[in-house]
Structure 1
Amino acid sequence: MYLFSVEKDQLLLMPSVDVINHNGAKLVINDMSYASPEEVISCCERSIEIMKQFGEGSAHVLANCTGMRFNSDVIQIVKNTTKTNRPYVRTTAVVGLEGFTKILVKVVISFSGRDMKICETEAEAKNWLAERYAEIEEPVLV
């Protein structure tokens, strides 16, 4: 979510968790871009609440980690949130990863067996999730 501050004449980035419709797909957007550790914790708590609205294995999630600041508390809360939300998640796309973090997530993807992809842009991530949603949610005709 983006807010514009008239007094400061600048765009303020506000971490958020929202459910949107993109090309017919219901997506959970965890936007933690440029979030402070405190804001990441708040987003993770909100994410857990939103995921309870989904059935098992039905959520398609985009995690935007662009410019996110990591410390040991953030790593722990993200791990706990991922574990708590896992039963609800069908697919995940992640954007904003760089360097060692990107390599680490690639390793996690290869060993976890999860339907997960690292994307370069939010648009690419949304489109990939919508494609996966359509493939999975499309009824089989008998």
Structure 2
Amino acid sequence: MEIRRVTRAEDVQAAGHLFESPPLPEATARFLADERHHLLVAYVDDAPAAVVTGVETTRPDRGTGMFLHELGVDARFSGRGIGPALTSALADLARDLGCYGMWVVTEADNPVARSVYRSAGGVAQAGPREVFHWSFDLPGDTGAAPA
């Protein structure tokens, strides 16, 4: 498996089956043009096997964090550790960019997603939806979990 950061519309289209619905050309162009948007694709034998998208968001009281917006794994590659590897790769990118942390929201009744995020080091906060977060030890970090 190889994980690559995707920056070309052609590569997004080639991985289109991994999204909830086919990528829209205008939305793809807008996503790729924004340096705060990140798209990582896992390839197995040069075939797109999984995708993760992250969006940097900035709060006045915390700085910039990474929101894991979407994770999609082709069913043919399920159970191979690709989801956790992509999630960890996005967390590494967030850390390298100086983000204070990363988070994702998933339904409490989604055991597959919960397992993926836990195995990638996410810590769950209880509630009707589970928010998994990763805290990065950066200068000035208060250690408070994002709300």
Which TM-score band applies after superposition, normalised by the shorter structure? Answer: 0.3 to 0.5
TM-score, normalization by structure 1: 0.35
Q: Which structure has more helix as a fraction of its residues?
A: 1
Where relative contact order (Cα < 8 A, 6+ residues apart) is larger, the structure is 1
Q: Which structure has more strand as a fraction of its residues?
A: 2
TM-score, normalization by structure 2: 0.35
